[in-house]
Amino acid sequence: MAMPEPSFRAPPAYLHEPFVLALLNTLLTNIDKGRVRPLQVNRKTLPPLFDFSSENTEYYWSLIVDLADEDEYAIFSIQMARPRPGIEVYEKARLVLEPGGEALLRHWLQRPREASYAANWKRAVESNAQYFIAGGAALLAKPIQRQGQTAEQVVKGFVQAAKLPLEPITLRALSAKCFWADSKFLDAREDLVRRLLPNADMYLITRPLLIHVAMAATSRQVLFVENQDTFLQLVAAQSQSPLLNNMTLINSAGFRGASSRIRQRGATQFSHVQPYDEGQFLAFQRWWLNQGSKAIPCYFWGDLDYSGMAILAALGQNFTDIRAWQPGYRAMLSYHSKGLCHSGEASGKERQRDPGQSHCAYVNDVLLPLLRSTKMFVDQEVVGMGDLHTD
């Protein structure tokens, strides 16, 4: 015997007011996205209530009160904020959905509850289990969400990767071919790919780290330079500058991410930006691969910020004697002392984190204390050759 359909109160005549529709749909959308907190009334969530050039603000609030009335609809209850002079009575009020309110709204708006993302993910993986190792157990362990894509579309990318011809390919190329031309989607998921895709270990090749190098005529020191513009500036002055003429210059994007393999044979590829002596380069390469008996002092110079300090720390895992290059940082300290610096919030660096204790005494004693006390940063490119001195 079929269960009778539940009876619902008829919707109000004002249901199709754009303001009301937007509010009620927002409540349901929040539920569908797993947001269970009450909806706070503010300029962002309900802007028409704060458009005081309109004559409708009081009317719109009366509709909200009506929807909350226990004798009318009781869609939600209203928790009022403490009244403050000069602030609208409803500002920061909270709309708390009542039991039964969700079902009534879904009936009025014809928005049935959607299956959860996790349920859709599980169904998509299981329906394509034949393409994956262990039936896709690695994918089932944790759903992967991507803005603008459904669970089925994300799983489809892994299916496409499993179907690719078994030819050598880098992780970045695999990602671009299978995931919306986004070469970085798989960057943090290499282990997942290897546990998921049959034969991945056979055809997935490690992307070499491209190292730009300007060999000194006599290479007695090595300087890692974070930013390309500064690197090229130093290259142009290398042969004339007493600071640089015995110093081989290095630049590469991705120092930090590749630090664990940077000195492994085959993990790096050198690109020379000017003519060089083959014997000098072979000696440098032996040192790079830890095959040379002679130690070469090496230094790092980058942005005076937490990220730059973190790159130095990462390089220190393999180049254990690397230190901050003081001529470069002294010049940056001079700019910092003159107020030519910027905050993290003003420059998009607010997510940078203090890397903690460094292996370099100059960083611990001078650079990090300054960054911690001022929270102000200097980018490397501000320094010109005329700012660099030996002491």
Instruction: Indicate the residue type of 77.
Output: S
pLDDT of res. 45: 92
CB 214 within 8 A of CB 273: yes
Q: Which residues of the chain are modeled with pLDDT < 50?
A: 1-4, 257
Residue 93, token pair as written in the block? 């009020």
What are the extents of the domains in the chain? 18-109, 117-205, 209-387
Measured between alpha carbons, how far is 300 from 281 in angstroms, rounded to an integer? 20
The one-letter code for the residue type at 382 is V
Instruction: Work out the percent of the chain whose per-residue pLDDT is above 90.
Output: 60
- Return the ∠ at Cα 143 (arms to 138 and 145), rounded to 5°: 135
Given a contact cutoff of 8 angstroms between Cβ atoms, the answer to whether 322 and 312 are in contact is yes
pLDDT, residue 254, reads: 59
Q: What angle do CA 359, 225, 240 make, to 5 degrees?
A: 120
Q: What is the pLDDT of residues 23-33, one digit of tens each?
A: 999 998 888 77
Reply yes or no on domain 209-387 having CATH 3.40.1360.
Answer: yes
pLDDT in tens, 58-71: 999 999 999 999 88
pLDDT at position 360 is 95
CB 78 within 8 A of CB 93: yes
- Residue 36: partners with Cβ closer than 8 Å, 6 or more residues away: 30
Task: Please state the φ and ψ torsions of residue 258, each to the nearest 5 degrees.
Answer: -105, 10
Q: Is 262 helix (H, G, I), strand (E, B) or coil?
A: coil
Q: Which has the closest alpha carbon to 278: 267, 270, 289, 266?
A: 270
Q: 152 - beta bridge partners?
A: none
Task: Detail the DSSP E strand segments found in the chain.
Answer: 39-40, 76-79, 94-97, 169-170, 204-205, 209-214, 221-225, 247-251, 268-272, 298-301, 323-324, 342-343, 376-377
Q: How high is the pLDDT of residue 1?
A: 42
The reported pTM is 0.59
